[in-house]
Amino acid sequence: MNDSIRPKIALTLGDPAGVGPELAAKLLADPRNSAAAEIYVLADRAELDAAAAVAGVEIPLATVPEPGVVTLLDDHSAPADPIPLREVSEAAGARTLHQLRRAVSMAADGEIGGIVFTPLNKTSLHLAGMHEEDELRWFAKELGYEGTTSEINIINDLWTARVTSHISMQEVAQRVTAPNVTAAIELLHSLLHDSGIDAPRIGVCALNPHNGENGLFGREEIDHIRPGVNEAKSRGINVAGPFPSDTIFLARENYDGIVTMYHDQGQIAVKLLGFDGGVTVQGGLPVVIATPAHGTAFDIAGQGIASTTSSQNALDIAIAVARRRAATKSAAR
């Protein structure tokens, strides 16, 4: 991978009522980040100055790109009245969506290769008019993207993808089909490759207890999951499974990524492995979009004590993926 490439990344401050702005300020003040990427921060100067004051940092800023300096894209759109801290509100959601739309527009125009946003508050977003079930669907709609997507959850060096996500358990079995399994495997393989792993190792979960016990507890493994795995193998992907979901994570050192069948099947395992450092990637979209896996932490917002571990990991992943994609695109010319 060509480490000399400085990919272009847009960074938004997340929900202004939470810890997002102070986390963003700490990232922007770290010279290693502006050395690794051309970072565009989407915020008004007053917002960024306030965040820097809370975080106790100074941010090197410019209005045009300069090596080692963050580029501020101030559109002078901040509301006249301050947005209340540590509160759910329509105003906070509207401010968050405004900056995310700016980032999406830049991505659609080919101006950036990645987006990183600090924590959002789903209730505030919905009060402000976001009707999609999650951010991934919102981003796909805004980008006009109709291909396969999956929320990717990352803890330490383990990446997880899902065949189904925010749906009821009653619907899960209907959505676990061979094509959907293959698509989830391919999506995870592609992202792992773009993150810098040349030959990703992927494991796949079963849906039913005991891997279905050869059809005794259900035939999804026989009729859909294994055929989906075999199709992915035929396309050159290093993938194995299905394996019982109660033991596959005990062998996680054998895999770079694991494909689960539904939301909590992977999320319970990932959260037991640890909260600190977790990252969510909006997988499958034409631009890499990453965010820390934790929430807005209203209880400590405004104190400048929020840990940047997850936010830094999200930025590192976005930079790595955007850099590799830029290098691949350049080599293809």
pLDDT on residue 2: 62
Q: Is the torsion defined by CA of 22, 60, 32, 73 positive or negative? A: positive
Pairwise CA distance, residues 69 & 109, whole Å: 23
* Confidence (pLDDT) at 46: 96
pLDDT for 273: 87
How do 201-205 and 257-260 pair as beta strands? parallel
Burial of 297 (0-12, 13-18, 19+ CB in 10 A): middle
Under DSSP, the state recorded for 83 is: P
Mean pLDDT, 10 residues at a time, the chain of 333 residues: 83 98 98 95 97 97 84 95 95 98 98 97 96 93 94 94 93 97 98 96 97 95 98 98 95 96 92 87 96 96 97 97 92 77
Look up tokens 């527009």; give the residue: 105
Residue 330 CA: distances (Å) to CA of 5, 10, 155, 320: 10, 21, 30, 15
User: Is the CB of residue 182 less than 8 Å from the CB of residue 150?
Assistant: no
Collect all residues with Cβ–Cβ distance below 8 Å to 167 and sequence separation of at least 6: 175, 262
* Beta-strand pair 61-62/257-260: unpaired
Q: What is the pLDDT of residue 330?
A: 81
Distances from the Cα of 150 to the Cαs of 92, 134, 161, 177, 289, in angstroms? 26, 11, 6, 15, 12
| 304 Rama class: left (phi>0) / alpha (psi -120 to 50) / beta | left
Predicted local confidence at residue 64, as pLDDT = 81
pTM metric for this prediction? 0.93
**Sign of the four-CA dihedral 273, 274, 278, 281:** positive
How far is residue 165's CA from residue 229's CA, in Å, rounded to a whole number? 19
- DSSP for residue 69: B
* Strand ranges (E), 146-255: 150-155, 158-162, 201-205, 238-243
pLDDT for residue 74:
96
288 Cα distance to chain centroid:
8
Domains and CATH numbers, the chain: 1-146+278-333 (3.40.718.10), 157-276 (3.40.718.10)
